[in-house]
Amino acid sequence: MPELPEVEVVRAGLEPAVSGATVTGVEVFDERSLRRHDRALGDFEALMTGARIEGAVRRGKFLWFPLDAGGAAPRALVAHLGMSGQVLLRTPGEAPEKLLRIRLMLHHPVHGELALHFVDQRIFGSMAVDTLQPTDDGRPAGYAGPGMAPGGPAAPAVPASAALIPSQVAHIGRDPLDPFFSPPEFYRALARTRSGIKRVLLDQQTVSGIGNIYADEALYDARVHFDQPAASLSTPTARRLLAAVRAILLRALAEGGTSFDAQYVNVNGQSGYFSHSLNAYGQHGRPCPRCGTELVRTKFMNRSSHYCPRCQRLR
């Protein structure tokens, strides 16, 4: 499943192309990709046609596009990639992908006519129009580009709706790359739970955007066992772990995310290369890069954990 770096690569690729664009046409080829759309708000095609996209925003693994619908209640187009969803930029008239589920036709004042294709093999992803609500802290709801900074303005792309969040995303915690993510709150959350630290990292309400791959990599970098009770981590260890999480996510972003097959690609259909930089995930049976001990894979929450039994001892 795409994690924070993969979704951020998509957001960053879409933002300059869709910000300021008007939706001129909508085609839904598979209604299953609208499973999260609340039809009480209205017909998806009718709501989107004529709407102006104000920007592209991300919190954790969720991506949304605030809409200016001419005075209607604040709304956004929410996209969730699920297991295999792709959002691709295309030129009008380009041959559709075999697994195309939704197509949006756009007119951009600078880039002209564009097409946005939502492609999904397993149909676990979705698009939906959702209402926007104020954030609990009054701060920008998610990451909207490098113009964001704590105490400063939100990215220019979303000035009108920066402090509004889709109702479907409101329960998700901020992610470690969000300028308004609070390390002290994160440390307090660790101190409150006896659950294993990896369970906490995967809990999207505590901290969003981290999935199995990057949890394993961060725990390896921080030399922490995946089942170490979160409350047992010392303050220096908790800080080292958060620093490792951020460093891993930034490295993955720099390499375009992690691609093991054709399911994850950026908006131009290109793969990411962080899979070549993994130290722990998927490396079982190989020697630990630090100590030479054979890396291990073990079952964990219907998936697997990868770790070094010597470097990451259960304390």
Same structural domain for residues 28 and 131?
yes
Indicate if the pLDDT at residue 179 is higher than 50: yes
Q: What is the CATH number of the domain that holds 210?
A: 1.10.8.50
User: How many whole angstroms separate alpha carbon 183 and alpha carbon 186?
Assistant: 5
User: How many whole angstroms separate alpha carbon 88 and alpha carbon 298?
Assistant: 36
175 within some domain: no
313 within some domain: no
Same structural domain for residues 60 and 152?
yes
Residue 148 has what pLDDT? 54
112 within some domain: yes
178 within some domain: no
109-118, 145-154, 172-181, 243-252: which has the minimum mean pLDDT? Answer: 145-154
113-122, 186-195, 218-227, 250-259: which has the minimum mean pLDDT? Answer: 250-259
Same structural domain for residues 26 and 119?
yes
Average pLDDT over residues 108-123: 94
Question: Residue 78's closest CA among 115, 108, 46, 37?
Answer: 37
* 48: CB partners within 8 A, 6+ apart: 23, 26, 67, 77, 104, 129
Percent over 70 (pLDDT), the chain: 88
Average pLDDT over residues 215-221: 96
- Token look-up 């039809």 returns 39
* 269: CB partners within 8 A, 6+ apart: 86, 88
Same structural domain for residues 264 and 228?
yes
DSSP letter at 15? H
Contacts made by residues 9-12, CB under 8 angstroms, sequence distance 24+:
9/253, 9/256, 9/257, 9/266, 9/272, 10/63, 10/81, 10/87, 10/266, 10/267, 11/56, 11/57, 11/58, 11/63, 11/143, 12/145
Q: Please tell me the total count of domains within the chain.
A: 2
177 within some domain: no
Same structural domain for residues 152 and 28?
yes
Same structural domain for residues 100 and 191?
no
Of the spans 55-59, 66-70, 147-151, which averages the highest pLDDT? 55-59
Query: Left if phi > 0, otherwise alpha if psi is -120 to 50, otherwise beta: which for 93?
Result: left
Same structural domain for residues 146 and 194?
no
- More confident position, 94 or 207: 207
Indicate if the pLDDT at residue 224 is higher than 50: yes
Same structural domain for residues 8 and 151?
yes
Predicted confidence (pLDDT) per residue in 231-280, tens digit: 999 999 999 999 999 999 998 888 875 543 444 444 454 444 455 578 99
Q: Which of 192, 290, 303, 315 is catalytic?
A: 303
Indicate if the pLDDT at residue 187 is higher than 80: yes
| Domain containing residue 109 | 4-166
Same structural domain for residues 11 and 148?
yes
Q: Which of 3, 6, 15, 217 is catalytic?
A: 3
What stretches of the chain show up as alpha helix (H) in DSSP? 4-18, 44-48, 183-191, 197-202, 212-222, 235-254
Asked if 61 is an active-site residue, the reply is yes
Residue 147 has what pLDDT? 60
Q: What is the CATH number of the domain that holds 152?
A: 3.20.190.10
Residue 46 has what pLDDT? 96
Asked if 75 is an active-site residue, the reply is no
Angle between helices 235-254 and 212-222 (to 10 degrees): 130
Residue 149 has what pLDDT? 47
Structure tokens at 91: 């030129």
* Helices H / strands E in the chain, number of each: 6, 12
Average pLDDT over residues 52-67: 94
235 within some domain: yes
What is the maximum alpha-carbon separation in the chain? 62
16 within some domain: yes
171 within some domain: no
- Please state the pTM of the whole predicted model: 0.86
Q: Which of 2, 5, 66, 166 is catalytic?
A: 2
Q: Which of 11, 58, 59, 61 is catalytic?
A: 61
Average pLDDT over residues 183-207: 96
Residue 23 has what pLDDT? 98
Give the distance from CA 78 to its chain's centroid: 12
Residue 1 has what pLDDT? 63
Indicate if the pLDDT at residue 79 is higher than 50: yes
Question: Residue 209's closest CA among 169, 255, 240?
Answer: 169
Structure tokens at 74: 């604040």
